[in-house]
């Protein structure tokens, strides 16, 4: 294990694991139904579900795809439904009792780079009360790992993902279950824990679920697809759904008898579980009989009889001791206050940073990729900042624009690409109360800030030094500060787009309309003076514009250019005119663009000298001013006199933008997560 850092330190010495009350918790659905609005019309996806989920029971929730299994699970989780009612131990759900219930989602959303041990240790720090102490938390992690049969090397293997192999699917599923076991929940709801697993792994997972239900009289419900008979037989109870209605609810082993009584005995050599599913899906197989109606009518008696075979159980009410026993539920319950909040936020920060920098190879790859952009720009515009030639202004402007756009776009695209995955993990952990959205947001912002600094160093510094921009501490600080602000704005926009879109295509449709105007009105593509009056508002709305102008003013306001200036060219025109004026007096001067060195003797002339006119006081050679200022250029492109006052004002505007982006991102995240968790 990783001795070197605090959170994952390796002391396992005792630490009591509060057990849940032996009485367990009963969930009861009475006439539960759910309607959703699909294009304005209400659609019923679940109706009239009566079912009891008792402690110590492992219930299989089966039914064809679209039958409403996932919907029912989320109703069991939250207790909210549009018809009927849910009760937990005979009472309506409360914030406190909801914490006894956890869900294991269908997809194993985990941090691929971490090992099961690390993942669980972080979860323990996030989920368990801070007061429990590190040793107790680690002890609980070890206990969960052994309950899950994840021991030895498996604990330390990276979890991996589809494209980077790590643990097997069954092991990943077990880690996923383990994350929710840390608080010792009374009710465990698993959505399709065996889908995608082979028979052996599926049997392992169901074995663990069964053990979990029996050991501490937990209530365990799992939706399940096509179980083998052997697997099916390990479930105590079966709730069979068909198109949102109950087709059977009772002891799993009595199900075959129920369908037998309706005239559908399981054919020999067939798995009863498969046969039941076939009956539900295939009208011909069921010979037109409505199995749902048949169940609703009379067959309830069978379940009554079956119920007698199970140990009787009376609701005793959720006891306080169960809630005190470490069902942390993050910092969102208001318990624990600021200290708890700060603690969880710091753990989350630690995890985010640890995850992104854990793998040295990956970190190196990121560093190289990012600095490539900087090096490329640096090479293209190498040394042009130092030349002092007016003609290079355009190149420097290009380099500055590159810095502005790459620092924003790079982080924006990165965030958009990675956020759908991060969102899945966020939703999972939020809904199971690992932490609050506030904690997540603060931690994410800290991580983003860190990332922004690293990116600025990797991308912008090579450009700065290779191009040779003005090197004073002040100008350099302004340059770096501006880019960090931009990166932060970029990551906010990335989060907003990433969390409101479900995939990359979705994201693309939002990206283009957001980015195109920002870039067009950045002040680079179209100079301010050339923007049509009816579009100037877009110019003022683009944060690119403020940052670009800021960098331009920062770079050019105090510079003077001495070669190829328009002023120099103008002086040469004056000389040409002078020469023309002098032509009657002496032959053309032998210069080719530059004035000849004067060797003390004058060329012979054929008129009177000095020529008439107000020129008699001229000194020779003429003192010509071959310079022009950066401000003149800024004036040309409409950035000078600077419209928003001093550079600090530009910073203030950008900071305002960032504050706005922070708030907007939080609101969007809040809305998306509450909507998705419903
Ligand atoms: N938010 C929703 N809006 C519209 N339809 C939904 C929504 N949630 C679920 N459904 C529909 O309800 C049905 C049941 O969904 P679900 O519970 O996910 O089924 P299962 O998990 O059994 O496959 C499906 O036909 C699904 O399309
Ligand atoms: Mg489902």
Q: Whose CA is nearest to atom 3 of ligand 1?
A: 36
Considering the domain architecture, whether residues 383 and 280 belong to the same structural domain is answered as: no
For residue 67, the CA-to-ligand 1 centroid distance in Å is 8
What pLDDT, on the 0 to 100 scale, is given for residue 187? 94
Most confident range, picked from 22-26, 404-408, 560-564: 404-408
Residue percentage of the chain with pLDDT more than 90: 40
In-domain check, residue 592: no
Q: Is the pLDDT of residue 327 over 50?
A: no
Smallest-distance ligand from the CA of 44:
1
- Asked, for residue 173, whether it belongs to a domain, the answer is yes
Domain holding 285: CATH number? 3.40.50.300
Q: Hunting for tokens 């931690």 — which residue is that?
A: 443
Give 614 or 486, the one with higher predicted confidence.
486
Q: Last residue of a domain, which of 311, 326, 354?
A: 311
**3-class SS of residue 506:** helix
Would residue 634 count as lying in a domain?
no
Across the chain, what does the average pLDDT equal?
83
In this prediction, residue 603 has a pLDDT band, given cuts at 50, 70 and 90, of: low
Per-residue burial over 502-514, b if 16 or more Cβ lie within 10 Å, else e, is eeeeebeebbeee
- Hey, whose CA ends up nearest to atom 10 of ligand 1? 45
At 39, the pLDDT band (50, 70, 90 cuts) reads: confident
Ligand 1 atom closest to Cα of 73?
17
What's the CA-to-centroid distance between 75 and ligand 1, angstroms? 12
Instruction: Give yes or no: residues 78 and 211 share one domain.
Output: yes
Per-residue model confidence (pLDDT) at position 629:
87
Q: Are 485 and 380 in a shared domain?
A: yes
Alpha-carbon gap, residue 111 to 225, rounded angstroms: 26
Look at 174 and 287; give whichever has higher pLDDT.
Answer: 174
With a cut of 60, say whether residue 211 has pLDDT above it: yes
Question: Which pLDDT score, from 0 to 100, does residue 316 have?
Answer: 42
User: What's the whole-number mean pLDDT along residues 508-516?
Assistant: 89
In the structure encoding, which two tokens stand for residue 491, read together? 């990551």
Number of domains in the chain: 2
Q: What is the mean pLDDT of residues 185-212?
A: 92
Ligand with the closest atom to the CA of 193: 2
Ligand 1: residues with CB < 6 A are 36, 38, 45, 63, 65-71
| Residue 585, domain member (yes or no) | no
* Better-scored residue on pLDDT, 565 or 33: 33
For position 4, what pLDDT does the model report?
38
Mean pLDDT for 294-302 is 67
| 535 Cβ contact partners less than 8 Å away, ≥ 6 residues apart | 521
6 pLDDT above the threshold of 50? no
In this predicted structure, what is the pLDDT of residue 566? 76
Classify residue 574: in a domain, yes or no: no
Where is pLDDT greater, at 625 or 462?
Answer: 462
| 545 found inside a domain | yes
DSSP 96-121: HHHTTEEEE-SS----TTS-HHHHHH
Q: Which pLDDT score, from 0 to 100, does residue 22 have? A: 57
Q: Ligand 1 atom closest to Cα of 191?
A: 21
pLDDT at 624: 57
| Same-domain pairing of 287 and 202 | yes
User: What's the pLDDT band for 601 if we cut at 50, 70, 90?
Assistant: low
Cα(68) to ligand 2 centroid in Å equals 7
Can you tell me whether residue 35 is helix, strand or coil? strand
pLDDT digits (tens, 9 = 90+) for 477-497: 999 999 999 999 999 999 999
Local confidence band at 209 (pLDDT 50, 70, 90 cut-offs): very high
Task: Determine, yes or no, domain membership for 559.
Answer: no
Could you give the percent of the chain with pLDDT greater than 70? 84
> Which range of residues forms the domain containing residue 467?
342-550+646-677
pLDDT in tens, 397-431: 999 999 999 889 989 998 998 888 889 999 999 98
Choice from 35, 62, 66 to test ligand 1 binding pocket (greatest atom count within 8 A of CB): 66
**Least confident interval from 24-28, 47-51, 334-338, 604-608:** 604-608
Confidence of residue 387 (pLDDT cuts 50, 70, 90): confident
Q: 243 CA to middle of ligand 2, Å?
A: 12
Ligand with smallest separation from the Cα of 191:
2
Strand pairing class (27-38; 187-190): unpaired
The reply to whether 240 and 350 lie within a common domain is no
304 and 377 part of one domain: no
Q: What share of the chain is helix, strand, coil (3-state, %, to 5)?
A: 55, 10, 35
Ligand nearest to the CA of 43: 1
Kindly state the average pLDDT of the residues 453-464: 88
Atom of ligand 1 nearest to the CA of 69: 22
pLDDT (mean) for 140-162: 88
Structure confidence by residue, pLDDT tens digits, 261-293: 888 888 888 999 999 998 888 877 778 778 888
Atom 6 of ligand 1 has which residue's CA nearest to it?
A: 36
Query: Residue 658: pLDDT above 80?
Result: yes
Per-residue pLDDT band at 604 (split at 50, 70, 90): low
**Rounded to whole angstroms, how far apart are CA atoms 81 and 68?**
13
Atom of ligand 1 nearest to the CA of 244: 14
- Pick from 294, 311, 328: which residue ends a domain? 311
Looking at 289, 311, 333, the residue that finishes a domain is 311
The best mutation among 34, 43, 45 to test binding of ligand 1, ranked by most ligand atoms within 8 Å of the C-beta, falls on 45
Residue 657 maps to a domain: yes
Q: Which residue's CA is the nearest one to ligand 1's atom 2?
A: 36
Cα 333 to middle of ligand 1, angstroms: 30
Statement: residue 326 has pLDDT above 50: no
Order of strands, edge to edge, in the sheet holding 27-38?
41-53, 27-38, 83-88
* Collapsed DSSP state (helix, strand, coil) of residue 678: coil
Cross-strand partners of 60: 222, 238
Nearest C-alpha to atom 12 of ligand 1 is from which residue? 45
Judgement on whether residues 292 and 151 belong to the same structural domain of the protein: yes
CB count in 10 Å sphere of residue 226: 14
pLDDT, one tens digit per residue, over 615-656 is: 545 555 555 556 788 998 898 888 888 888 889 999 999 999
- The HSE-up count of residue 185 (CA atoms within 13 Å, CB side) is 29
Mean pLDDT of 167-186: 90
Ligand nearest to the CA of 69: 1
In the three-class reduction of DSSP (H, G, I as helix; E, B as strand; rest coil), residue 84 is classed as strand
Whether residue 312 is predicted with pLDDT greater than 90 in this model: the reply is: no
Q: 3-state class of 245 per DSSP? A: strand
Contacts of residue 554, Cβ cutoff 8 Å, sequence gap at least 6: 470, 475, 478, 479, 482, 647
DSSP code of 576?
H
Residues 269 and 400 in one domain: no
Say which DSSP state 666 is in. H
The verdict on 435 and 307 lying in the same domain is no
- Tell me the average pLDDT across 318-334: 40
Q: Name the residue with the closest Cα to ligand 1, atom 20.
A: 66
Same domain, 267 and 378: no
pLDDT score recorded for residue 502: 83
Least confident interval from 33-37, 159-163, 192-196, 500-504:
159-163
The Å distance, Cα 38 to ligand 1 centre, comes to: 11
Tell me: do 285 and 355 sit in the same domain: no
Q: Pick the atom of ligand 1 nearest to 72's CA.
A: 17
The verdict on 359 and 431 lying in the same domain is yes
Going from the C-alpha of 494 to that of each of 330, 407, 497, 500, the distances in angstroms are: 26, 13, 5, 10
Copy the structure tokens of residue 358.
């854990």
Q: Identify which has the larger pLDDT, 567 or 48.
A: 48
- Full DSSP string of 294-324: HIIIIIHHHHHHHHHHSPP-------HHHHH
Q: What is the pLDDT of residue 142?
A: 92
């Amino acid at each position: 294990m990783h001795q070197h850092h605090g959170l994952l330190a390796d002391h396992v010495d005792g630490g009591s694991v509060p057990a849940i009350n032996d009485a367990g918790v009963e969930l009861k659905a009475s006439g539960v139904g759910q309607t959703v609005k699909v294009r304005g019309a209400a659609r019923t996806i679940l109706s009239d579900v009566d079912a009891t989920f008792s402690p110590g029971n492992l219930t299989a929730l089966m039914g064809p795809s679209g039958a409403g299994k996932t919907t029912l699970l989320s109703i069991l989780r939250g207790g909210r439904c549009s018809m009927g009612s849910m009760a937990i131990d005979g009472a309506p759900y409360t914030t406190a009792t909801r914490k006894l219930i956890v869900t294991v989602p269908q997809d194993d959303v985990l941090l691929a780079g971490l090992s099961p041990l690390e993942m669980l240790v972080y979860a323990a720090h996030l989920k368990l009360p801070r007061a429990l102490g590190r040793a107790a938390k680690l002890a609980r992690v070890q206990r969960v790992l052994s309950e899950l049969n994840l021991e030895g090397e498996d604990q330390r293997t990276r979890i991996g993902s589809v494209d980077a192999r790590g643990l097997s699917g069954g092991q990943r599923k077990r880690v996923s279950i383990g994350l929710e076991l840390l608080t010792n929940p009374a009710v465990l709801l698993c959505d399709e824990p065996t889908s995608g697993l082979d028979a052996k792994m599926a049997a392992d997972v169901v074995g663990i679920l069964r053990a979990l239900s029996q050991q501490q009289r937990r209530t365990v419900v799992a939706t399940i697809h096509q179980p083998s008979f052997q697997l099916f037989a390990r479930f105590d109870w079966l709730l069979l759904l068909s198109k949102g209605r109950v087709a059977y609810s009772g002891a799993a082993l009595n199900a075959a008898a129920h369908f037998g009584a309706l005239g559908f005995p399981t054919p020999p050599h067939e798995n009863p579980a498969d046969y039941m599913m076939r009956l539900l899906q295939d009208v011909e197989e069921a010979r037109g009989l409505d199995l749902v109606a048949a169940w609703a009518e009379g067959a309830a008696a069978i379940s009554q009889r079956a119920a007698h075979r199970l140990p009787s159980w009376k609701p005793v009410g959720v006891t306080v001791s169960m809630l005190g026993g470490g069902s942390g539920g993050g910092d969102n319950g208001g318990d624990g206050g600021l200290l708890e909040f700060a603690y969880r936020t710091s753990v989350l920060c630690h995890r985010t940073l640890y995850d992104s920098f854990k793998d040295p190879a990956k970190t190196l790859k990121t560093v190289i990729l990012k600095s490539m952009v900087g090096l490329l720009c640096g090479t293209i515009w190498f040394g042009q900042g130092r030349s002092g030639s007016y003609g290079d202004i355009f190149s420097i402007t290009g380099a500055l624009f590159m810095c502005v756009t790459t620092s924003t776009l790079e982080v924006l695209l990165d965030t958009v690409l990675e956020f759908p995955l991060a969102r899945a993990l966020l939703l999972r952990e939020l809904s199971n109360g690992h932490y609050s959205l506030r904690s997540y947001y603060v931690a994410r912002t800290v991580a983003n800030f860190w990332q922004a600094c690293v990116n600025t160093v990797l991308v912008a510094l090579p450009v700065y030094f290779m191009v040779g921009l003005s090197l004073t501490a002040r100008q350099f600080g302004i340059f770096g500060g501006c880019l960090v602000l931009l990166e932060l704005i970029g990551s906010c926009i990335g989060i907003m787009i990433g969390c409101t879109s479900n995939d990359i295509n979705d994201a693309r449709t939002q990206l283009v309309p957001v980015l195109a105007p920002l870039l067009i009105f950045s002040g680079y593509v179209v100079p301010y003076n050339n923007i049509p009056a009816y579009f100037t508002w877009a110019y003022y709305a683009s944060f690119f514009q403020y940052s670009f102008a800021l960098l331009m003013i920062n770079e050019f306001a105090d510079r003077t250019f001495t070669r190829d200036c328009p002023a120099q060219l103008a002086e040469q025109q004056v000389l040409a005119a002078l020469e023309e004026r002098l032509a009657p007096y002496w032959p053309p001067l032998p210069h080719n663009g530059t004035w000849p060195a004067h060797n003390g003797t004058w060329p012979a002339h054929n008129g009177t000298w000095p020529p008439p006119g107000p020129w008699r006081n001229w000194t020779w050679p003429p003192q010509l001013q071959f310079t022009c200022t950066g401000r003149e250029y800024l004036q040309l492109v409409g950035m000078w006199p600077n419209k928003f006052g001093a550079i600090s004002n530009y910073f203030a505007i950008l900071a305002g933008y960032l504050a706005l982006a922070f708030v907007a991102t939080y609101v969007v995240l809040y809305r998306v997560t509450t909507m998705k968790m419903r």
